């Protein structure tokens, strides 16, 4: 089992994270058991690993956040990880049909009510549109009606 | 015989007649009874519940207003029969023509009825052998045309009536208009020989197996089915209707042959409807040449009414389609070579039984051959279908009944009340005021007073004067030229336009309500935005942005020009959906002299003065005056001085009378109260005012979108999105992962991810 170490500055919510390789691949020493969702990888101490916050496990074929690193005795270190399902399944996610309720790519507010939008709750502006016809008062023309 | 009472109110039996109001209503409270007790049996009507009705029913049969247990799904092209239902007299029977050419049946949801035929010698046989189809909604039993003969019936032998489709077309072999059965049409080569099909119609046969017979009677309302005749096509194929190879000239002359058909030839002479400048089509429609507007037109029988709704001619009628149209009638249809081969109890390939839907509406579909016996209609012997009755449920609401135009149409009738109305300008008004304010000094002479004013107060004739902020004659129907304003029997010599319309429509213009740039989203609608429409003389009315955004907003005033009251209709495009009442006319009070009162008072005062001079020392007031005056004048005089006559001494009588003469109180009268004129000083055009939200100070919408995304509701592959994306639901079935991972994926997507 080999880990490829990375560092990334991307938000955890980013699906296709930009990864920068850190050091070289490291071999994982097996522990009593390894949880695929939240593994704790036991590796030999590698100074470069201290700069990693992300990794890829070839055996599991999954990507992981490195949440914590502990230094063990015997020049070992443990990488406490949780799976990044977004990066792991990024390719499959592209084809996933989903009902999206918020999206930056729509470009702006839509007819769907958005209570998060920073609308001033108190202020309004007034606009008006004039009609294209108006009454033309002219006493010199037949504007009076005499009723007899 | 029992009639199932669930069929639209049919009575429970012939013999008893517990008729519900629904049943008797069409007959106006009378029961139609086929009275067989008298010689020359006839159908008469008797008041419900009367002893006479009971007596007649004991020997006769109740012909109920109930209808056949089905509805017709009609085709939009069917044209009504030319002949109005009427009793026939003479031999051959003479029908009364009726201009019903341009009525179309469209999806008739109304139940239909069969009525019995014309001038039968044996009424009973006529009931059973000569039924006629009839629209129930068309049926007006109070109409004279239904006296006796044309009462609908419910009890008839279903297997003794059938329809044979007939095609009406131009026969290129005989140069005649041919009416052939569908079988003959197809057997003789169809369109090859019978070109320019004019239409189809159902030929009715009655009598039953082995006894089929037909008559000239039409099937109402389907006298013929004409797919249409377009005038522009006529010059192209009209030659075929001209005989002897003369070709089509500008006009045609028709010559009716002994066989009843009319041959046509070219002519250079144009004529009128009474002449033969027309082609006769099936159902007695005609193509008639008119000079104004020039061209050939499809008209009614007399060439007096144009038919304007028609489609292209020369359609190739499909045999299956023709049969389908016939099946919509709900009767057996026979398409074979010989009607005498048709036996409803043993249907062959040419025998079609109609199919109905669960609401009892014909579908235009049917079953032919032996399987026809297995259909509901295939098993009917009479119209009462036994267990196969329709419950009278109404079909689902048909959205096609919505107004296709979605347009408010205001009536065009010009209501006018009994008052005389004049449209005047300010100068003309002042002229009229001059007349009504004539004072004693202005009365030319006593003779003129007698002639004009003794019985007429001009001010009394005036009911009001109303000012409008527009030129009234621009909108109201009025006499083309001005006339003098007449006040009673006084000619004012002031000109005005006499108005012939009381309620007018004034268009106040329009605007288009578009959301402003950058705000074409939820912020333009309630509750974030609101809108109101200021309408002059009415005020402001709140309108819903959702109703009007993206549409034209216009206003029309409906104005009562006598009272000045108005209703402003607010339109969204062509449909008025809001309104507000107001007062657009400003009432102008007029004060005038009750001239005749004044004149009479003056006359009386003069007499009083004379009398007092003569009757110095006379007794009670009124004696001297009574010698010369009528009682009314005396009363007017009293009113003129503002009080009842009082006793006065003879010594003061002279001076009092002279006082009356010299100090004549002028009787004024005011007409109308001052109306509120403030609106005339306000804006004179409508204005749409929109309250729009604004963003918080310093809000960066772009940054907001990047971090939060914008609210939307779009279902699509995630690859079509970018940036912050939050889902409510996702189909993850294509992702090969563990269950925990799938749950984690969905949770992450619902929390929001950045694509």
Distance (Å, whole) CA B563 – CA B581: 13
Question: Which of B686, B695, B735 is closest, CB to CB, to A120?
Answer: B695
Token readout for A64 is 């992981």
Q: Which of A104 and B21 is assigned the larger pLDDT?
A: A104
pLDDT > 50? residue B632: no
What pLDDT, on a 0 to 100 scale, did the predictor assign at position B54?
62
Residues of B in contact with A102 (CB under 8 A): 708-712, 724-726, 752
Q: What is the mean pLDDT of chain A?
A: 90
Q: What is the pLDDT of residues B215-239, one digit of tens each?
A: 544 443 333 333 333 333 344 434 3
Question: Which of B710, B713, B734 is closest, CB to CB, to A92?
Answer: B734
Residues sharing a CB contact under 8 Å with residue B736, sequence separation 6 or more, in sequence order: A92
Distance (Å, whole) CA A15 – CA A87: 5
Range A36-65 average pLDDT: 92
On whether the CB atoms of residues B366 and B323 are closer than 8 A, the answer is yes
What pLDDT, on a 0 to 100 scale, did the predictor assign at position B67?
37
pLDDT > 90? residue B554: yes
**Contact yes or no for A103 and B738 at CB 8 A:** no
pLDDT > 80? residue B642: no
Least confident of B408-417, B481-490, B492-501, B509-518: B408-417
φ, ψ (nearest 5 deg) of residue B583:
-135, 110
What pLDDT, on a 0 to 100 scale, did the predictor assign at position B481?
84
On whether the CB atoms of residues B307 and B284 are closer than 8 A, the answer is no
What pLDDT, on a 0 to 100 scale, did the predictor assign at position B44?
64
Range B318-324 average pLDDT: 83
The CA distances from residue A39 to A15, A30, A33, in Å, are 20, 11, 9
Within a 10 A sphere around the Cβ of B650, how many other Cβ atoms? 13
Cβ density class B1-15: b for 16+ within 10 Å, e for less: eebbbebbbbbeebe
Distance (Å, whole) CA B742 – CA B308: 66
Distance (Å, whole) CA B98 – CA B126: 24
The model's confidence at residue B601, banded by pLDDT at 50, 70 and 90, is low
What pLDDT, on a 0 to 100 scale, did the predictor assign at position B733?
92
Q: How many residues does chain A have?
A: 148
Q: Which of B566 and B397 is assigned the larger pLDDT?
A: B566
Q: With an 8 Å Cβ cutoff, is A69 touching chain B?
A: no
Range B241-247 average pLDDT: 29
Q: What DSSP line would sit under B201-239, residue for residue?
A: EEEEEES-TT--EE-S--BTTBSEE-----GGGHHHHGG
| Residue whose C-alpha is closest to residue A78's, from A40, A113, A111 | A40
3-state secondary structure B254-303: EEECCCCCEEEEEECCCCCCCCCCEEECHHHCEEEEECCCCEEEEECCCC
Distance (Å, whole) CA A36 – CA B331: 75
On whether the CB atoms of residues B666 and B640 are closer than 8 A, the answer is no
Least confident of B182-191, B289-298, B730-739: B289-298
Q: What is the pLDDT of residues B574-583, one digit of tens each?
A: 899 999 999 9
The model's confidence at residue B382, banded by pLDDT at 50, 70 and 90, is low
Token readout for B79 is 């044209």
Q: Which of B418, B496, B714, B743 to mutate to test the interface with A (most CBs of A within 10 A)?
A: B714
Cβ density class B289-318: b for 16+ within 10 Å, e for less: bbeeeeebbbbbbebeeebeebeebbeebe
**Contact yes or no for A112 and B508 at CB 8 A:** no
The model's confidence at residue B400, banded by pLDDT at 50, 70 and 90, is low
What pLDDT, on a 0 to 100 scale, did the predictor assign at position B251?
45
In chain B, how long is the greatest CA-to-CA distance? 134
The model's confidence at residue B712, banded by pLDDT at 50, 70 and 90, is very high
**Contact yes or no for A107 and B680 at CB 8 A:** no
pLDDT > 80? residue B11: no
- Using DSSP's 3-state secondary structure scheme, residue B485 falls into strand
Distance (Å, whole) CA B116 – CA B124: 10
Residues of A in contact with B730 (CB under 8 A): 96-99
Least confident of A133-137, B4-8, B682-686: B4-8
pLDDT > 50? residue B176: yes
Residues of B in contact with A95 (CB under 8 A): 717-719, 734
What pLDDT, on a 0 to 100 scale, did the predictor assign at position B102?
27
Token readout for B508 is 């106040």
Within a 10 A sphere around the Cβ of B635, how many other Cβ atoms? 15
What pLDDT, on a 0 to 100 scale, did the predictor assign at position B46?
65
Distance (Å, whole) CA B162 – CA B183: 15
pLDDT > 70? residue B298: no
What pLDDT, on a 0 to 100 scale, did the predictor assign at position B107?
34
What pLDDT, on a 0 to 100 scale, did the predictor assign at position B443?
53
The CA distances from residue B522 to B527, B528, B549, B703, in Å, are 9, 8, 12, 19
**Residue whose pair of structure tokens reads 């004012």 in the numeric block:** B492
φ, ψ (nearest 5 deg) of residue B322:
-60, -45
pLDDT > 50? residue B2: no
What pLDDT, on a 0 to 100 scale, did the predictor assign at position B143?
47
Distance (Å, whole) CA B375 – CA B355: 7
- Nearest chain A residue to B508 by CA distance is A133
In chain A, how long is the greatest CA-to-CA distance? 118
Q: What is the pLDDT of residues B655-673, one digit of tens each?
A: 555 555 555 555 566 666 5
What pLDDT, on a 0 to 100 scale, did the predictor assign at position B289?
43
Residues of chain B with pLDDT > 90, as a percent, come to 17
CA–CA–CA angle B525, B531, B536 (5° rounding): 160
Question: Which of A98, A106, A111 is closest, CB to CB, to B730?
Answer: A98
Range B564-579 average pLDDT: 92
Residues of B in contact with A92 (CB under 8 A): 734-737
- Nearest chain A residue to B704 by CA distance is A117
Q: What is the mean pLDDT of chain B?
A: 64
**Contact yes or no for A99 and B688 at CB 8 A:** no
Q: Which residues pair with B115 in a beta bridge?
A: B132, B152
Range A79-96 average pLDDT: 95
Q: With an 8 Å Cβ cutoff, is A142 touching chain B?
A: yes
The model's confidence at residue A11, banded by pLDDT at 50, 70 and 90, is very high
What pLDDT, on a 0 to 100 scale, did the predictor assign at position B440?
45
Residues of chain A with pLDDT > 70, as a percent, come to 99
What pLDDT, on a 0 to 100 scale, did the predictor assign at position B610?
58
B482: cis peptide before it, omega within 30°? no
Chain A / chain B CB contacts < 8 angstroms: 332
Q: What is the pLDDT of residues B469-478, one digit of tens each?
A: 888 888 877 7
- Nearest chain B residue to A104 by CA distance is B709
**Contact yes or no for A129 and B706 at CB 8 A:** no
Residues sharing a CB contact under 8 Å with residue B361, sequence separation 6 or more, in sequence order: B70, B71, B72, B73, B109, B395
Distance (Å, whole) CA B570 – CA B733: 53
Within a 10 A sphere around the Cβ of A115, how many other Cβ atoms? 7
What pLDDT, on a 0 to 100 scale, did the predictor assign at position B290?
40
Half-sphere exposure for B754 (CA within 13 Å, toward CB): 12
pLDDT > 90? residue B367: yes
Q: What DSSP line would sit under B388-440, residue for residue?
A: G----PPPPP-GGGS-SS------------SS-EEEE-HHHHHHHHHHHT--G
What pLDDT, on a 0 to 100 scale, did the predictor assign at position B687?
92
Within a 10 A sphere around the Cβ of B707, how many other Cβ atoms? 14
Q: Which of A77 and B207 is assigned the larger pLDDT?
A: A77
ipTM computed for the complex: 0.91
Residues of A in contact with B561 (CB under 8 A): 145
The listed range with the strongest mean pLDDT (A140-144, B417-421, B436-440) is A140-144
B419: cis peptide before it, omega within 30°? no
pLDDT > 90? residue B335: yes
Q: Which of B431 and A20 is assigned the larger pLDDT?
A: A20
On whether the CB atoms of residues B297 and B286 are closer than 8 A, the answer is no
Q: What is the pLDDT of residues B258-286, one digit of tens each?
A: 554 444 444 445 443 333 334 444 334 44
pLDDT > 80? residue B495: yes
What pLDDT, on a 0 to 100 scale, did the predictor assign at position A81?
94
What pLDDT, on a 0 to 100 scale, did the predictor assign at position A68?
94
Least confident of A111-125, A127-141, B300-314, B628-642: B628-642
What pLDDT, on a 0 to 100 scale, did the predictor assign at position B437?
65
Q: With an 8 Å Cβ cutoff, is A91 touching chain B?
A: no
Q: With an 8 Å Cβ cutoff, is A147 touching chain B?
A: yes
Least confident of B131-140, B236-245, B343-352: B236-245
Q: What is the pLDDT of residues B418-429, one digit of tens each?
A: 788 889 988 888
Q: Which of B104 and B327 is assigned the larger pLDDT?
A: B327
φ, ψ (nearest 5 deg) of residue A66:
-95, 105
**Residue whose pair of structure tokens reads 């949880």 in the numeric block:** A35
Range B284-299 average pLDDT: 44
On whether the CB atoms of residues A130 and B553 are closer than 8 A, the answer is no
């Amino acid at each position: 089992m080999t880990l490829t170490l990375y560092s990334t500055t991307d938000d955890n919510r980013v699906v296709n994270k930009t990864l920068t390789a850190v050091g070289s691949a490291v071999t994982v020493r097996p522990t009593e058991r390894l949880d695929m969702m939240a593994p704790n990888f036991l590796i030999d101490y590698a100074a470069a690993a201290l700069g990693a916050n992300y990794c890829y496990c070839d055996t599991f074929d999954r990507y992981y956040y490195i949440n914590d690193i502990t230094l063990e005795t015997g020049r070992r270190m443990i990488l406490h990880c949780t799976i990044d399902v977004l990066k792991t399944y990024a390719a499959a996610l592209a084809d996933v049909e989903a009902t999206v309720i918020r999206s930056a790519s729509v470009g702006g507010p839509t007819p769907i009510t958005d209570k998060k939008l920073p609308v001033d709750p108190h202020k309004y502006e007034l606009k008006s549109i004039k009609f294209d016809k108006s009454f033309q008062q002219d006493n010199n023309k037949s504007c009076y009606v005499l009723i007899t | 015989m029992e009639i199932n009472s669930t069929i639209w109110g049919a009575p429970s039996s012939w013999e008893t007649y517990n008729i519900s109001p629904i049943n008797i209503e069409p007959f106006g409270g009378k029961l139609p009874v086929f009275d067989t007790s008298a010689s020359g049996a006839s159908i008469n009507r008797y008041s419900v519940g009367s002893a006479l009705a009971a007596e007649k029913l004991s020997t006769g049969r109740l012909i109920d207003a109930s209808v056949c247990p089905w509805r017709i799904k009609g085709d939009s092209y069917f044209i009504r029969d030319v002949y109005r239902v009427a009793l026939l007299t003479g031999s051959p029977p003479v029908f009364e023509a009726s201009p019903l050419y341009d009525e179309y049946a469209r999806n008739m949801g109304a139940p239909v009825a069969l009525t019995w035929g014309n001038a039968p010698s044996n009424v009973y046989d006529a009931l059973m052998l000569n039924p006629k189809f009839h629209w129930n909604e068309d049926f007006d039993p109070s109409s004279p045309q239904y006296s006796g003969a044309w009462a609908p019936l419910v009890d008839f032998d279903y297997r003794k009536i059938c329809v044979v489709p007939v095609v009406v077309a131009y026969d290129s072999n005989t140069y005649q208009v041919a009416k052939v059965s569908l079988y003959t049409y197809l057997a003789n080569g169809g369109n090859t020989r019978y070109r320019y099909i004019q239409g189809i119609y159902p030929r009715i046969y009655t009598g039953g197996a082995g006894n089929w017979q037909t008559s000239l009677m039409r099937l109402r309302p389907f006298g013929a089915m004409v797919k249409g005749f377009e005038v522009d096509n006529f010059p192209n194929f009209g030659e075929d209707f001209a005989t002897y190879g003369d070709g089509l000239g500008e006009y045609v002359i028709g010559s009716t042959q002994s066989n009843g058909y009319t041959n046509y030839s070219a002519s250079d002479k144009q004529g009128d409807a009474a002449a033969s400048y027309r082609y006769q089509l099936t159902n007695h429609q005609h193509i008639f040449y008119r000079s104004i507007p020039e061209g050939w037109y499809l008209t009614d029988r007399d060439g007096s009414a144009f038919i304007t709704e028609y489609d292209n001619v020369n359609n190739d009628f499909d045999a299956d389609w023709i049969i389908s149209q016939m099946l919509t009638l709900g009767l057996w249809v026979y398409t074979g070579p010989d009607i005498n081969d048709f036996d409803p109890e043993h249907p062959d390939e040419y025998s079609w039984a109609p199919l109905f839907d669960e609401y009892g509406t014909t579908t235009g579909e049917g079953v032919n051959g032996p399987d026809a016996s297995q259909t509901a209609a295939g098993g009917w012997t009479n119209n009462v279908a036994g267990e196969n009755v329709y419950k009278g449920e109404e079909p689902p609401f048909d959205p096609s009944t919505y107004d296709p135009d979605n347009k408010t149409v205001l009536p065009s009738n010009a209501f006018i009340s009994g008052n005389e109305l004049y449209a005047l300008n300010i100068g003309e008004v002042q002229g009229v005021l001059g007349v009504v304010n004539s004072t004693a000094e202005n009365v030319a002479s006593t003779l003129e007073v007698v002639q004009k004013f003794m019985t007429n107060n001009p001010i009394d004739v005036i009911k009001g004067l109303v000012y409008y902020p527009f030129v009234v004659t621009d909108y109201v129907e009025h006499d083309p030229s001005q006339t003098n304003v007449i006040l009673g029997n006084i000619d004012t010599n002031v000109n005005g336009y006499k108005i012939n319309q009381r309620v007018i429509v004034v268009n106040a213009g329009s605007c288009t309500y578009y959301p402003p740039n950058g705000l074409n989203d939820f912020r333009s609608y309630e509750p974030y935005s609101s809108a109101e429409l200021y309408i002059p003389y009415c005020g402001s009315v709140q309108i819903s942005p959702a109703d009007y955004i993206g549409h034209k907003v216009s206003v029309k005033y409906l104005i009562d020009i006598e009272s000045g009251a108005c209703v402003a209709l607010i339109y969204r495009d062509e449909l008025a959906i809001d309104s507000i009442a107001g007062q657009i006319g400003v009432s102008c009070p007029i004060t005038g002299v009750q001239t005749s009162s004044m004149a009479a008072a003056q006359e009386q005062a003069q007499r009083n003065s004379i009398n007092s001079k003569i009757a110095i020392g006379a007794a009670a007031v009124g004696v001297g005056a009574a010698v010369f005056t009528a009682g009314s004048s005396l009363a007017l005089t009293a009113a003129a001085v503002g009080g009842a006559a009082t006793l006065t001494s003879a010594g003061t009588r002279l001076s009092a009378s002279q006082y009356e003469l010299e100090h004549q109180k002028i009787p004024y009268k005011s007409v109308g109260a001052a109306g509120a004129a403030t609106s005339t000083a306000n804006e004179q055009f409508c204005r749409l005012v929109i309250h729009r939200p604004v963003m918080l100070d310093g809000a960066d919408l772009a940054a907001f979108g990047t971090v939060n995304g914008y609210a939307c509701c779009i279902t699509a592959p995630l690859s079509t999105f970018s940036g912050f994306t939050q889902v409510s639901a996702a189909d993850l079935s294509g992702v090969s992962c563990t269950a925990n991972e799938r749950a984690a994926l969905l949770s992450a997507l619902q929390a929001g991810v950045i694509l």
